[in-house]
Amino acid sequence: MDERQLRILRELGELGSVSAVAAALHVTPSAISQQLRLLQRSLPVPLTERAGRRVVLTEAGKALARAAVEVETALARARHSVDEFADQPDGNVSLAAFHSAATTFFPLLLRSFAGPGRPRLRLADEDVAQERFPVLTRDYDLVLAHRLDHGPPWPRTVTANTLLQEPLDVALPAGHPLAAKTVLTPQDVADQPWITVHDGFPLMSTVEAIAAVANRRLDIVHRVNEFTVVAELVAAGGGLALLPRWTTRKHPDVALRPLTAVHARRRIDVLHRPERTARRAVRTVLAELHRAATEIRTHDAQPPRPGTGPRSG
């Protein structure tokens, strides 16, 4: 028993013949008869009977036809409720982000959506390996994820839009001899101690590329994922590191220098399941993320210069 079959039964009671129902619903009489047979199989009592050459409703059929009116009314109300929910401008929107993206984007979003009639944000930090980001779309409306330009693409089960293509720079103490250079090569930095992310996180591929181009194994002394902690370790002389140019907070004792000869750039993407954007509030937050990304990119799109620390969005 489904909505279409109940609708046919209702129309048969009102119009009085299979051919009239077929004409009203713009289908063939045989299609109507088939749906009536399928409906009959699901019930233990006859719903129709012959009255001369016509098929009419039995008393049981009439009772079910009356119930069909109630079913259609309830379904219409349900659809209207869903439409109202989907069109709410101030609905709840859940958003997860890895740490540096959260540091940069979350404050911009909160300021943009302050006040009544705006989406109500539910924010969370999620620092996971790259392959885990798509899984988070089960629990959140939107997920900020990162991957390297040459890394594997996101699965087709999620929709992905790129917000930023962010350069990765070498971070070193402001007084380090290499800070006098405007650009660094893998050979310049390969003999230094290094602070890297844990295995399985995107930036590790760039660190490995530095070692490959320099043709030597890097001395990795610390493993830290949180970039604010990394900046503090670099400032204290704990080693060199890769830091994103736009989403790293400025540290007065850390300098960033561009790196040549390796592809040092990451994508910051927003992931979501396709059905999430049926809601107006989610679409509003998604549009604001793109606007914020443009602001971050245009505010500080130039490479760092000697004597300056990390730039932030």
Q: Which residue has the higher pLDDT, 190 or 10?
A: 190
pLDDT at 300: 63
In a domain, 201, yes or no: yes
Last residue of a domain, one of 64, 86, 108: 86
pLDDT at 86: 77
Per-residue DSSP letters for the chain? --HHHHHHHHHHHHH-SHHHHHHHHTS-HHHHHHHHHHHHHTSSS--EEEETTEEEE-HHHHHHHHHHHHHHHHHHHHHHHHHHHHT-TT-EEEEEE-HHHHHHHHHHHHHHT-STTS-EEEEEE----GGGHHHHTTT-SEEEEEEETTSPPPPTTSEEEEEEEEEEEEEEETTSGGGG-SSB-HHHHTTSEEEEPPTTSTHHHHHHHHHHHHTS--EEEEE---HHHHHHHHHTTS-EEEEESSBS---TTEEEE-B-SS--EEEEEEEE-GGGGGSHHHHHHHHHHHHHHHHHHHHS-SPP-TT----B-
Task: For the chain, give the number of residues.
Answer: 313
In a domain, 306, yes or no: no
Both 20 and 150 in a single domain?
no
**Beta-carbon contacts of residue 302 (< 8 Å; ≥ 6 apart):** none
In a domain, 309, yes or no: no
R_g of the chain computed on alpha carbons: 31
Residues of the chain with pLDDT > 90: what percent?
67
Whether the CA torsion 40, 41, 42, 45 is positive or negative: it is positive
Which domain does 141 fall in, by range?
Answer: 92-299
Last residue of a domain, one of 71, 86, 101: 86
Both 103 and 225 in a single domain?
yes
Provide the CATH number for the domain around residue 224: 3.40.190.290
Both 33 and 152 in a single domain?
no
Both 216 and 164 in a single domain?
yes
Both 180 and 285 in a single domain?
yes
pLDDT at 159: 95
How many domains are contained in the chain? 2
Per-residue model confidence as pLDDT tens digits over 237-246: 999 999 999 9
Both 20 and 120 in a single domain?
no
Last residue of a domain, one of 86, 117, 145: 86
Per-residue model confidence as pLDDT tens digits over 185-237: 999 999 999 999 998 787 898 999 999 999 999 999 999 999 999 999 999 99
In a domain, 305, yes or no: no
Both 290 and 276 in a single domain?
yes
Provide the CATH number for the domain around residue 63: 1.10.10.10
In a domain, 21, yes or no: yes
In a domain, 259, yes or no: yes
pLDDT at 299 over 60: yes
pLDDT at 311 over 60: no
pLDDT at 310: 42
| 1-8 mean pLDDT | 87
